[in-house]
Amino acid sequence: MDGGNGNAEHRREDRQYVLNEDRSMKKKLKSTEFEPITIQETKGGTRFLLNTGTYEILKNATRKYFFDNTQNYTYTYIPVNDKKSNEVELKFKVADGKTHLYTLNMYNTTSSCLINGKNPQHFFNTDLPNILELMESTLVLNDETLSGINQKMKQQIQSKRQGIRHIILRKKVVSLWN
């Protein structure tokens, strides 16, 4: 990851499962019905539950922020893939020198995030305001709203799920004839 003036590192993690794409799309479709963002405190950190449109805008703004960032922190970007190389999660680890500040986990299949670590306030006080600015400028630049993007995501998911169901149905029909 190009971290501007900050130090940057890029790694990759692989999970030992294959994503069930239909189940994943069901979850993404369900999350289009959520509020734009709900924040929950958990034992493991702070969790964001987002609707699908908000999550996608947040994910893109977060990538841009960390890739273009000029802060003097160390940023580690870790995409997490299943066995078929589907990206199921993104991790952003942030450190000040050798001191770990926080980790931001972004879960693509559930449109949710988890922020945890020794100093998650760094995310809320320093990084999140800048990420939100990027989100807002993206929306203004594209003359969009979060609800409009969420509706478009809902339509895309419904269309893709219909295509998958059609393929599955065709496979079942073919297997009946064999």
Domain range list for the chain: 7-177
Overall average pLDDT of the 148-155 stretch = 84
Tokens of 170: 């065709």
Confidence of residue 39 (pLDDT cuts 50, 70, 90): very high
Each residue's pLDDT tens digit, 72-121: 888 888 999 888 888 889 999 999 989 999 999 999 989 999 999 999 99
8/149: higher pLDDT: 149
What torsion do the CA atoms of 80, 28, 45, 126 make, to the nearest 10 degrees? 80
Amino acid at site 55:
Y
What torsion do the CA atoms of 18, 61, 135, 137 make, to the nearest 10 degrees? -140
Look at the block and give the residue holding tokens 């999140």: 128
CA–CA gap between residue 94 and residue 103 (Å, rounded): 6
CA–CA gap between residue 38 and residue 44 (Å, rounded): 16
In sequence order, which ranges of 69-145 are alpha helices (DSSP H)?
A: 121-122, 128-141
Confidence of residue 10 (pLDDT cuts 50, 70, 90): low
Percentage of the chain lying above the pLDDT 90 cut: 41
Amino acid at site 49:
L
38, β-bridge pairs? 49
pLDDT reported for residue 40: 94
